[in-house]
Amino acid sequence: MTSPDIAIIGAGPAGLIAAERLAEAGHRVAIYERMASPARKFLLAGRGGLNLTHSEPLDRFLDRYGEARAWLEPAIRAFPPQALRDWADGLGAESFVGSSGRVFPKAMKASPLLRAWLSRLDRLGVRLVSGRHWTGWDETGALRFAAREGGEDLVRPRATLLALGGASWPRLGSDGSWAQLLAAKGVATAPLRPANAGFHVAWSPVMRERFAGQPLKRVALSFAAQRVMGEAMIDEDGIEGGAVYALSGPLREALERDGHADLTIDLRPDLDMAALATRLERRRAGETLSNHLRKAAGLAPAAIALLREASPGPLPTDAGALAVLIKAASLRLTGTAAITRAISTAGGITADEVEADFMLKRLPGVFAAGEMLDWEAPTGGYLLQACFATGVTAAAGVARFVTARHARA
């Protein structure tokens, strides 16, 4: 194959935005993608409404990245949420801010934006080579790709950008196998673990069979001094959903450390304890406890079932004790859902392995971006924002490297 100036491996958001920036700067760019078509996970994320970024103040936004804030902050400040919105608007995917502060394209889908994006890349001369599985380097330093149709391609670019994603949803192309290839080159990586994932609960047969798939709406979840408002979903194996995902990092760490984690659920966060107890005191003679909880406390059947799971014995009949349980139902989590079902991945190439522009210190001319890097964040636009921002910063680093190398030549 004709080798490009720059090879980008992985056609997700980080790789595509890097290709766009580099092609605009006049570089010959080729993207090598394992799957038959690009951005499979991006498209999946957009099925329920493509959450591009978030509108909250930037300092608060940056705090969502936890310990990785210091590492990611320069890239996100260089390509902040407003820059991402402007970019999407430029592709005809005009964005808006939802009631939660999250930012979406008005079409609420990824496919129109992706079509416009790929058309732009094509006009810029970016070559997309699908069905190419990267298998490392040969003895001369050439990139090796196993071709879907058989055989092997060797590519010798001036610089390489790795944008292979994490290890969640491997059927969409990201399985984390790159970690072994980098380890063989001495590049340290933190173990890939599920992030924004659900958790296992030892449900009773009744809970599993009757309430799997039922939502817990307008609840507050608490763990390790963190409290999150939102929704959760009961599934056959346990509990998942946006509010659960927001606590997934500390919950996962507690499970790894202690073998379990106790999640506290406030089923009526809009009522204080005294007001709730007052409501529960007014029980009609002969009324079943379930009906009483439904009418007086406003609990849905799934929430009542969860109370029964959380109670060490029969539900108390005393109004005060019931209010305490409703406001602080304790649910023991016994494990984390498989990484293949997680929304995103924690772990990856550690901060001390890369320069400020995400070039690998042990492999000059090789850069990384997106979920390959060791960071995690909750859902709400933070995941895509960091993928785009690290792709933009890495592209700038690639351009500087290639330009300097050409000048030396």
Q: What is the pLDDT of residues 45-61, one digit of tens each?
A: 877 789 999 999 999 99
Strand pairing category for 238-240 and 199-200: antiparallel
**Sign of torsion over alpha carbons 177, 179, 180, 184:** positive
Q: What is the CATH number of the domain that holds 170?
A: 3.50.50.60
Q: What angle do CA 377, 201, 239 make, to 5 degrees?
A: 45
Residue 38 lies in a domain: yes
- 């498209």: which residue's tokens? 43
Our measurement of the distance from residue 380's CA atom to the centroid of its chain's CA atoms, rounded to an integer in Å, reads 9
Residue 29 lies in a domain: yes
Alpha carbons 110 and 93: distance in angstroms, whole number: 9
The reply to whether 188 and 284 lie within a common domain is: no
Alpha carbons 255 and 375: distance in angstroms, whole number: 19
- DSSP lists the bridge partners of residue 24 as none
> CB within 8 A of 392, min separation 6: which ones?
17, 18, 21, 75, 78, 79
**How many domains does the chain fold into?**
2
What pLDDT, on the 0 to 100 scale, is given for residue 405? 81
Q: What is the pLDDT of residues 272-293, one digit of tens each?
A: 999 999 999 988 888 999 999 9
Strand pairing category for 159-162 and 6-9: parallel
Alpha carbons 276 and 297: distance in angstroms, whole number: 7
The reply to whether 18 and 148 lie within a common domain is: yes
> CB within 8 A of 295, min separation 6: which ones?
none
Residue 352 lies in a domain: yes
The reply to whether 190 and 45 lie within a common domain is: yes
The reply to whether 114 and 23 lie within a common domain is: yes
Q: What is the pLDDT of residues 69-104, one digit of tens each?
A: 999 999 999 999 999 999 999 999 999 999 999 999
Confidence band for 409, pLDDT divided at 50, 70 and 90: low
The reply to whether 268 and 357 lie within a common domain is: no
Burial class of residue 286 (count of CB atoms within 10 Å of its CB; 0-12, 13-18, 19+): exposed
Strand pairing category for 238-240 and 226-234: antiparallel
Asked if pLDDT for residue 320 goes beyond 90, the answer is yes
The reply to whether 165 and 221 lie within a common domain is: no
Alpha carbons 284 and 247: distance in angstroms, whole number: 39
Closest CA to 29 of 52, 48, 51, 2: 2
The reply to whether 282 and 396 lie within a common domain is: no
Domain boundary pick from 303, 336, 369: 336
> CB within 8 A of 214, min separation 6: which ones?
233, 234, 300, 301, 302
Identity of the amino acid at 276: L
Mean local confidence (pLDDT), 229-256? 95
The reply to whether 205 and 269 lie within a common domain is: yes
Residue 1 lies in a domain: no
Alpha carbons 336 and 201: distance in angstroms, whole number: 9
The reply to whether 300 and 386 lie within a common domain is: no
Helix axes 13-24, 111-123, angle to 10 degrees: 30
> CB within 8 A of 251, min separation 6: which ones?
199, 223, 244, 261, 263, 333, 336
Higher-confidence position of 281 and 405: 281
Q: How many CA atoms lie within 13 A of 13 on its CB side?
A: 27
Range of the domain at 215: 199-336
Domain boundary pick from 289, 314, 336: 336
The reply to whether 384 and 313 lie within a common domain is: no
Domain boundary pick from 336, 370, 396: 336
